[in-house]
Amino acid sequence: MTVGTITLRYFDGCPNWQVARTRLQQAMEQLGRAAKLELERIESAEQADLLRFHGSPTILIGGIDPFAIHGAPTGLSCRVYRTDAGMEGSPSVDQLVAALKERS
C-alpha cells in the first residue's frame, strides 16, 4: 500500500533533517508501505517565505504538514518537535507512523 509522496524540506545548515529522513524510513518500514520520498533543499529566506517553510526539517505528506503550528514563523531555522522524549529536532517514529496512517 502506498501513501503517496512525502516531501522532506530542509536547509543545509540544519542537521536534523537527516534524523527525520531515517525516522521516516523506519516509520514506512513499520507500516509496510511504500512512498516516494522527495528531498527539497530550501536555499534562501525568500524561498522559505514563498513556500511557508517553518524550519528544518518540515515533512509534507501529500502536500500537508501534519505537524504544522498555526502562526509559526517562516525562515531558515531548525525546527523542533514536541515528542514523548521531550523537544527534539524531528518527530518520533511513532508520531510519523500516526501521521502516515492518518494521511493514507
Domains of the chain, first to last: 2-103 (3.40.30)
Burial, 71: exposed, middle or buried (Cβ in 10 Å; 0-12, 13-18, 19+)? exposed
What is the mean pLDDT of the segment spanning 39-65? 95
How confident is the model at residue 17, as a pLDDT? 96
Which amino acid, 86? G
**What average pLDDT does the structure give for the chain?**
92
Please report which confidence band the pLDDT of residue 104 belongs to, taking 50, 70 and 90 as the band edges.
confident
On the question of pLDDT at 2 being above 70, the answer is: no
- What is the reported pTM? 0.90
Please report which confidence band the pLDDT of residue 9 belongs to, taking 50, 70 and 90 as the band edges.
very high
